[in-house]
Every structure is written in C-alpha cells, then in structure tokens.
Amino acid sequence: MPLQTVAPQRLYRQIAEQVRQLMVSGEFALGSRLPAERDLAVQLGVSRPSVREALIALEVEGMIEVRTGSGIYVQRTEPPNKSSAPMQADANTPADWGPLEVMSARLLVEAEVAALAAINAQKADLKAIKAGLQQMKLEAARDQMPREGDEAFHEAIAQACGNSVLLDTVQRYWQARNGPLFERLGDYFEHPESWQAAIGEHQQVLLAIEAHDASAARKAMQKHLRQAHKRYSASWRRAPAR
C-alpha cells in the first residue's frame, strides 16, 4: 500500500475529532448533553477557545446542537459525509482557520497596520476609511449586521498602511471571517448591541488615524480587537436565544 500524504491538523479539528468519535462510539449518546465547555477544556488539556472552535465546527457539521441557556446536545451519532463536511477543508485555506485564533492574530497585526495607516494615510485613504464606517452605521440603522461596512473599514486601513504584504494578510483574515465557522459563531455572539459597541470602537480608530497619531491608532485598534475577542468568547448563556 503506498504511503499517503499526511495532512496537518489544526488543534480545534483534533479536538472535534476526539469528541466526534466519542459520539459515534456511544460514549455520548444521541440526545445527551455534552460536558460544559470549561470541563472539556480541562479534560483535554487545551484552552477554552480551542474547545469552542471545535464545538462550532461540530455544530456546522450537524453533529451537535447548542441550546443557549441549556447546554450542548448530541444531535447525530453518524460521522458526516466526507465530501460535504466543513472539517475536510484544506488546512491551508483561511476558511479552515479557527475564528478565535484569527482574532488573536488580528490583534497583533492590525494594531500595527493601524499605526502605519496613521503615519501614511492620504486624503483618499481617509475618505475610504470614513466610507466604511458610514456604511456600518447605515447597515446597523437598517437592522442589518454591518459586516460589509466592517470589512470595508478594515481593508481601507490596510490599504492606507502602505504595505502590500500587510494588505494581503488583512484580506486573508476577512476570507476567514466569511467562512462557515466564523458565520456560525457570529450567529450566537453578534447582535445589535454588540455592533453598536463595535461602531463606537471603530470611530476611535478613525479619529486617531485622522490625527496621524500612530500610538493612539495602535491602542484604539488593540482595544477594539480585544473587545471583539471578548464578545466572541462570552459564555454561551449570555448569547441571545435564537
């Protein structure tokens, strides 16, 4: 038998595979409630964000159901069809990146991107950043999740930083942001109140870039992305019922 290519496995996928096998084997029976996210993290010796990403992936596959305020329940005990399972995505594509891992990376990279934008932004750049923020406000006013404006805002800042590699990096983060794992996580933790908070945070980033204050822009972006990570990491019990 010829050797097969060994595909790298992201940590959340390894966690999801362990939990899936326990469901398939009957350790977690159909309809039963899984241990709490905190308890799974302790038993597996991993972080809670990694467990959350694994649970989101399993829910996208239809293996589990998250009932806010109640718990996480086994929805199916048969393994998913390989051709349709999100977990089978190419490990090198942004759509396969763990959402909370992406947020941590964005905190490091986009803070410096904002600082560079404050130094290098031209009038056209500032106009594009303002337009992204205005689009967010209009989308929110229409009771829409302002994701398009959010992406336009961050991409305009990356464009303004003057480094094409950083621009490409930020664009790849947004490819991940539009993937199925991020979308499902957003279903739980994005709501009008969280977006209003995010719009206020974006306003502070814009003001710092307009003032060409690199230090203030860096701090404002760090604050925004820390708050975003905190919102996505909130207890399931605090997620609005769907």
Kindly list the domain boundaries of the chain, sorted by start residue. 11-88, 94-238
CB 107 within 8 A of CB 225: yes
The fold adopted by the segment(s) 94-238 is Four Helix Bundle (Hemerythrin (Met), subunit A) (1.20.120)
Q: What is the CATH code for 11-88?
A: 1.10.10.10
Instruction: Return the percentage of the chain with pLDDT > 70, whole number.
Output: 88
* φ and ψ of 90, to 5 deg: -60, 125
Q: What integer pLDDT is reported at residue 93 of this predicted model?
A: 84
**Integer Cα distance of 100 and 102 in angstroms:** 5
Structure tokens at 177: 């942001």
How far CA 189 is from CA of 82, 92, 186, 201, in Å, comes to: 28, 26, 5, 17
* Tokens encoding 148: 């398009």
Task: Kindly list the distances between the CA atom of residue 236 and the CA atoms of 52, 89, 187, in Å, as whole numbers in the listed order.
Answer: 10, 26, 12
pTM score: 0.86
Which of 181, 167, 186, 178 lies closest to 228, judged by CA? Answer: 186
- Arithmetic mean of pLDDT, 150-160: 98
What are the helix (H) ranges across 26-163?
37-44, 48-61, 99-120, 123-141, 147-160
Express each pLDDT in 67-109 by its tens digit. Answer: 888 899 999 998 777 554 554 555 568 888 999 989 999 999 9
pLDDT by residue (tens digit) across 181-224?
Answer: 999 989 888 999 999 999 999 999 999 999 999 999 999 999 99
Band of residue 8 on the pLDDT scale cut at 50, 70, 90? low
Nearest to 40 by CA among 29, 30, 52, 32: 52
